[in-house]
Amino acid sequence: MPYEAYTGLNYGTTKNKFGEMQAALEGFLKGIVENKNGKLTKNWLPAFTAALDAYLGKVPETFKYKGKEYTPRSFADEVVGIKSDEYLEIGSFLYTPFYESTFLMVPDNWSLQSVMNVPLDELENIVDHALENGQTVAWATDVSEKYFSWKNGVAIVPEKELEDMSAEEVKLMFDGPKAEREITPQYREDAFDNYTTTDDHGMHIVGLAKDQSGKEYYMVKNSWGDANDYKGYLYVSKAFFRYKTIAILLHQSGIPDGIRRKMN
């Protein structure tokens, strides 16, 4: 539903602050799970929902938007128009066959979703094709590395690891284009297996750009405000994308025909 119909601000602040709510809900659920009476009653879910309503406000059953009345469901269908079954989540892993679905083995996959597995070169080709044809891509990635700089609005993979750099090299890491590591499928897989790559954050790939040397980057929209060098955007090198991507999500029409056929 539109923001004005449900802001979630029911506790006197102008932006969401979830610390108290999260502590209350966690304590409530731990108590329910650890209860000594055996079988759960049916009361726990209404009680949990009431706690959510107390912090966020009760979800409206109907609301008006541009003079017309909607339910959350009718607004999603008629105004937003996104059909979730037309979207596909895609990853690239060596431990399972390509062009088949596989379970995405990250802690945040609490809904037990699968991803379509493709070769690494094709994962990059899919994003390029989607962007060049007017679509955008949701992106799950690792943002824990020191060469992911939100302040500078740049994410790269320098040739050397940080511990092998001099203090001067670290200082100049984001001072203009730099040579980067070659990211092979095995190099990427090793980082996923040894926890160098972790599932940290989701962002929105919205465009392609080139630096002054002609090297391509993905232009990425983030949700951390606009107090960085590119006013809320980030330029991600192809090497970083190949190395640190967990998965992407896009409309199936953004996938090149040849790759779609391989996926059946």
Looking up residue 102, the CATH number of its domain turns out to be 3.90.70.10
110 and 221 assigned to the same domain: yes
- Pair (117, 199) in one structural domain: yes
Spatial distance between the Cα atoms of 32 and 40, rounded to a whole number of angstroms: 8
How many of the other CB atoms lie within 10 Å of CB of 123?
A: 22
46 and 141 part of one domain: no
Give the number of domains in the chain. 2
Last-in-domain residue among 11, 46, 80: 80
Q: Which domain holds residue 150?
A: 84-263
Q: Could you tell me the pLDDT band of residue 147, with boundaries at 50, 70 and 90?
A: very high
Please check whether residues 91 and 199 belong to one and the same domain: yes
User: In 3D, which of 21, 35, 19 has the Cα closest to residue 44?
Assistant: 35
Q: 248: part of which helix (H) or strand (E)?
A: strand 245-251
164 and 60 in a single domain? The answer is no
My answer on whether 9 and 107 are in the same domain is no
Q: Which of 22, 55, 80 is the last residue of a domain?
A: 80
Q: What is the pLDDT of residues 95-139, one digit of tens each?
A: 999 999 999 999 989 899 999 999 999 999 999 999 999 999 999
> What six digits make up the tokens of 104?
């995405």
What is the chain's mean pLDDT, rounded? 94
Say if residue 172 is in the same domain as residue 55: no
- 98 shares its domain with 60: no
Same domain flag for 108 and 91: yes
Model confidence at 17: pLDDT above 80: yes
With vertex at residue 174, the alpha carbon angle to CA 168 and CA 179, rounded to the nearest 5 degrees, is 85
Average pLDDT over residues 150-172: 93
Residues 165 and 42 in one domain: no
Q: Which residue has the tokens 């979630």?
A: 8
Residues 106 and 146 in one domain: yes
Percent of the chain with pLDDT over 90: 88
Domain termination site, one of 80, 101, 130 = 80
68 and 129 share one domain: no
Predicted confidence at residue 37, as pLDDT, reads: 77
Please give the C-alpha separations between residue 198 and each of 8, 182, 183, 188, 245, in angstroms, as whole numbers.
30, 20, 16, 12, 9
